[in-house]
Amino acid sequence: MSIKINSNRCVGCGRCIEVCPGNLIKRNIEGKAFMKHEKDCWGCTACIKECVVDAIDFFLGADIGGTGSTLSIQSKGDLNIWKVKDIQGNIQEIVINKKDANKY
Amino acid sequence: MKTRIMETDVLIVGGGTAGCFAGITLGKQEDVKVLMVEKANIKRSGCLAAGVNAINAYIIEGQTMQDYINYCKKDAEGIVREDLIQNMSERFNHVTKVLEDLGLVILKDENGKYVTRGKRNIKINGENIKPILAEAVNRQKNVDVINHVNVTDFIVKDGRIQGAYGFDVNHPIFYEFHAKAVLVATGGAAGLYRPNNPGFSRHKMWYCPFNTGAGYAMGILAGAEMTTFEMRFVALRCKDTIAPVGTIAQGVGAKQCNGQGEFYGEKYGMATSQRIYGTVTENREGRGPCYLGTKGISPEQEDALYKAYLNMSPSQTLKWLETGKGPSAYNVEIEGTEPYIVGGHSACGYWVDQKRETTISGLFAAGDVAGGCPLKYVTGAMAEGEIAAEALVDYIKKVNYSPIKEKNGEKKKKEYEDYLTRGKNLLTIEQVEESMQKIMEQYAGGKSTDYRYSENCLILAEKKILKLLETLQFLAAEDMDDLLRIYEIRERLIVCRTVIAHLLARKETRWHIFAENIDYPYKSDQWLKYVNSRLEDGELKIVFRDLVTGGQVYEHKN
Ligand SMILES: Cc1cc2nc3c(=O)[nH]c(=O)nc-3n(C[C@H](O)[C@H](O)[C@H](O)COP(=O)(O)OP(=O)(O)OC[C@H]3O[C@@H](n4cnc5c(N)ncnc54)[C@H](O)[C@@H]3O)c2cc1C
Ligand code: SF4
Ligand code: SF4
């Protein structure tokens, strides 16, 4: 399980580098973010929540059942919009209002 | 390396739950200078990075503090400090109110009362709990935060804390902090044992993999007394994603069942360790795999679970959606985790007095790093942060302080620089990590041995860990990032050594799974005492102490 950074989208703002609790993301010579410690990701999605250009995707490794789907998140006002995209490109969305408590 | 020397009244090491709450509390004392040093960034560092599911420790209507004390005592089979649990639980509801005022969403009923879950929980939206705490810290005028500085050692003189050393994790800067008093709040230790998913997803573990036991290690090296490291913590979690199970178990009332569809929970008891013991035993005796029986829950319940997990452990929701095996159609497979050392769940950590002062004068401990007081959870960590913060204010007023003049830091700086200048050799950081985890897994009761160990194996483990500690000096760091990884291994090895010594010392099996001693498979009243340890002249000395029970209060004697 880890993250994938799309360097075509990354604008090098550095927010993901700043926030990762494991200091796993670094900047390359082009000034863009890259995942230096791919196997050390905890899956907290903090970096994804920071990226305003939607350049980071989260995925499960095959060792824990991953089959190429990705998870991403965008925040719009009070809403967190989570997107799961499977390997064929089908998208499923789950919208959570930040003001709503968990039912469980 | 450049050197940066900083002076402050109070140094907080680790800006997680306990550290942040201490920072917020100290913000009310504008004349007290506070410096918070954090290895990552307090916005999302530590256990709370992804969010949490609920407030797990709250005194709900109809329950009392004594009920909470009794619950802890029962769960830990008596090895707790009642004085600590008492003054922690007194504050659960107050710190929750502070959190709510800071912006945490808490579910309320039509009468404005918190909606409860079970006997001790209240329902929240915990996704942004860490940014809420961090923003509150950043608003305190007298609290400065330094992110991305990793602290490795305390400065102690004549039994009193004087500050700490550390380094910038990105730039070659050596830090020397001088302080009148220090709060250590670095959390517990993960990654000592081989993780559940040892390959590509090795950090898909329950506890925060970036909490590598720095606070314990620094205390151990400085000669602080530690307690109950033999009470490891193993959690029951969802298979593969290692996501919490409480949300499913309590949320939709799913029970533990084995591969034959039998519910086995009651058979073994419902204490934390018994629930894992049951699962391990069912598997060993061929009745696995084990599940939480979710099959047949309604689409609404399933949807609520998807959302709840996105708010704290998003990989579980991804797994359900990706594999097409949602919890309404398939039961959720469960397993025990690797053993962790975490004083917020079990009772291991610094031996402290009621104010959370350690045996080193002026060094206070709060949260997962502090011992004697299990089942703290978020609110307990905050309560301890607050208790320590109040005591710190009193302490610095009393202490006769003169900053150290001589340059003590040179030796530490050279130690860092040696790693950075040493040429690369065949030994790598990754190899040492693998070796440590293999030793702990095979000889000190890892998951593959059903968490069991024998005296002979522990003695071997001890030797091998000591040997590995010696090899650290040959590791080379190409940059500051490598240096961070070297110190993360160093602290874990130091913690491993203490864990082994404690496992050896308690000659009984008080808790299944947490300390499953093959040579002494039963519990005995003779062991109703604390196993503590102190490093003296390089030797780990075991100290036994009498239990502090109802009404008694422990105080350090000099
Ligand atoms: C996945 C997960 C889910 C949980 N869910 C819940 C829940 O739903 N409800 C509940 O009540 N409790 C929950 N808990 C428990 C609770 O989150 C913890 O007990 C609590 O956060 C511990 O607080 P802490 O301050 O001790 O540690 P942390 O909050 O982890 O803080 C430790 C801090 O120290 C920093 N640090 C570590 N080493 C160094 C160093 N060498 N130098 C500088 N800084 C350092 C870390 O980066 C981190 O910021 C959960 C825990 C986990 C792991
Ligand atoms: S947050 Fe996004 S844009 Fe900014 S550096 Fe990271 S990947 Fe690039
Ligand atoms: S998901 Fe979390 S641990 Fe993984 S890279 Fe992003 S911020 Fe770091």
Length of chain B in terms of residues written: 558
Q: How far is the CA of B439 from the centre of ligand 1 (A)?
A: 26
User: For chain A, what is the largest distance between any 2 Cα atoms, rounded to a whole number of angstroms?
Assistant: 46
Residues of chain B with pLDDT under 50: none
* CATH number where B286 lies: 3.90.700.10
pLDDT for B451:
98
Pick from B530, B504, B529, B498: nearest CA to B517: B504
Residues B60 and A99: their CA atoms lie apart, in Å, by 22
Q: How far is the CA of B289 from the centre of ligand 1 (A)?
A: 30
Asked if B271 and B402 sit in the same domain, the reply is no
pLDDT for B403:
64
**DSSP letter assigned to residue B255:** P
Asked if B394 and B516 sit in the same domain, the reply is no
**Final residue belonging to a domain, choices B406, B432, B454:** B406
Interface predicted TM-score (ipTM) of this complex, two decimals: 0.97
Cβ pair B549, B82 in contact under 8 A? yes
pLDDT for B108:
95
Looking at chain B, which residue has its C-alpha nearest residue A87? B322
Beta strands in B358-498 (DSSP E): 363-365, 452-453
* CATH number where B484 lies: 1.20.58.100
- What are the structure tokens assigned to B248, written together? 């499913």
Provide the terminal-to-terminal Cα distance of chain B, rounded to the nearest Å.
Answer: 39
pLDDT for B558:
56
* CATH number where A43 lies: 3.30.70.20
Task: Tell me the pTM.
Answer: 0.98
Q: Does the residue B80 lie in any domain?
A: no
* CATH number where B378 lies: 3.50.50.60
Q: Which residue in A40, A44, A87 has the most chain B C-beta atoms within 10 A of its own C-beta, making it the best mutation to test that interface?
A: A44
Asked if B359 and B213 sit in the same domain, the reply is yes
- What are the structure tokens assigned to B513, written together? 């799974």
Cβ pair B132, B96 in contact under 8 A? no
Residues with CB under 6 A from ligand 2: A 5, 10-16, 33, 50-51, 53, 55-56
Residues B215 and B185: their CA atoms lie apart, in Å, by 7
Q: Quote the number of domains for chain B.
A: 3
Determine contact: A94 vs chain B, CB below 8 A: yes
Asked if B32 and B139 sit in the same domain, the reply is yes
Asked if B30 and B156 sit in the same domain, the reply is yes
Q: Which of A26, A65, A104 sits opposite B305 (nearest CB)?
A: A104
Pick from B298, B308, B292: nearest CA to B238: B292
Residues A36 and A22: their CA atoms lie apart, in Å, by 11
Three-state SS for A30-86 is CCCEEECCHHHCCCCCHHHHHCCCCCEEEECCHHHCCCCCEEEEEEECCEEEEEEEC
Phi, psi at B37, each rounded to 5°: -115, 125
For residue B517, the Cα-to-chain-centroid distance in whole angstroms is: 23
Q: Is residue A47 within 6 Å of ligand 3 at its C-beta?
A: yes
Interchain proximity B117–A63, CB inside 8 Å: no
Q: Residue B407, class by beta-carbon neighbours within 10 Å (0-12 exposed, 13-18 middle, 19+ buried)?
A: exposed
Asked if B166 and B307 sit in the same domain, the reply is no
pLDDT for B192:
98
Contacts for B13 with CB less than 8 Å, ≥ 6 apart? B19, B37, B151, B164, B182, B183, B184, B185, B186, B214, B215, B218
**Min Cα separation B169/chain A (Å):** 8
Pick from B212, B189, B221, B175: nearest CA to B35: B175
Neighbours of A78 (CB within 10 A): 10
Asked if B244 and B262 sit in the same domain, the reply is yes
- The domain of B424 spans 411-520
Looking at chain A, which residue has its C-alpha nearest residue B250? A104
pLDDT tens sequence across B493-519 = 999 999 999 999 999 999 999 999 999
Q: How far is the CA of A47 from the centre of ligand 2 (A)?
A: 8
DSSP per residue, B473-532: GG---SSHHHHHHHHHHHHHHHHHHHHHHHHHH--S-SSTTTTEESSS-S--GGG-EEEE
pLDDT tens sequence across B89-106 = 999 999 999 999 999 999
Pick from B303, B241, B487: nearest CA to A44: B241
Q: Closest residue (by CA) to atom 7 of ligand 3? A: A20
pLDDT for B502:
98
A-B Cβ pairs (cutoff 8 Å, strict) = 175
Residues B151 and B487: their CA atoms lie apart, in Å, by 9
Asked if B240 and B358 sit in the same domain, the reply is no
Q: Quote the number of domains for chain A.
A: 1
For residue B306, the Cα-to-chain-centroid distance in whole angstroms is: 27
Residue among B205, B377, B483, B488 whose CB has most ligand 1 atoms within 8 A, to mutate: B377
Q: Residue B62, class by beta-carbon neighbours within 10 Å (0-12 exposed, 13-18 middle, 19+ buried)?
A: exposed
- What are the structure tokens assigned to B122, written together? 């209240």
Asked if B390 and B447 sit in the same domain, the reply is no
Beta-bridge mates of residue A27: A33
Q: Is residue A38 within 6 Å of ligand 3 at its C-beta?
A: no
Q: Does the residue B453 lie in any domain?
A: yes
- The domain of A27 spans 2-100
- What are the structure tokens assigned to B128, written together? 């942004």
Phi, psi at B76, each rounded to 5°: -100, 15
Residue with tokens 């950081």: B429
pLDDT tens sequence across A47-102 = 999 999 999 999 999 999 999 999 999 999 999 999 999 999 999 999 999 999 99
Q: Sheet containing B332-336: which strands, arranged edge to edge?
A: B236-238, B332-336, B291-292, B256-257
pLDDT tens sequence across B393-422 = 999 999 877 766 656 799 999 999 999 999
- What are the structure tokens assigned to B370, written together? 């502090």
For residue B445, the Cα-to-chain-centroid distance in whole angstroms is: 19
- What are the structure tokens assigned to B490, written together? 């160093």
Length of chain A in terms of residues written: 104
Q: Does the residue B185 lie in any domain?
A: yes
3-state secondary structure of B95: helix
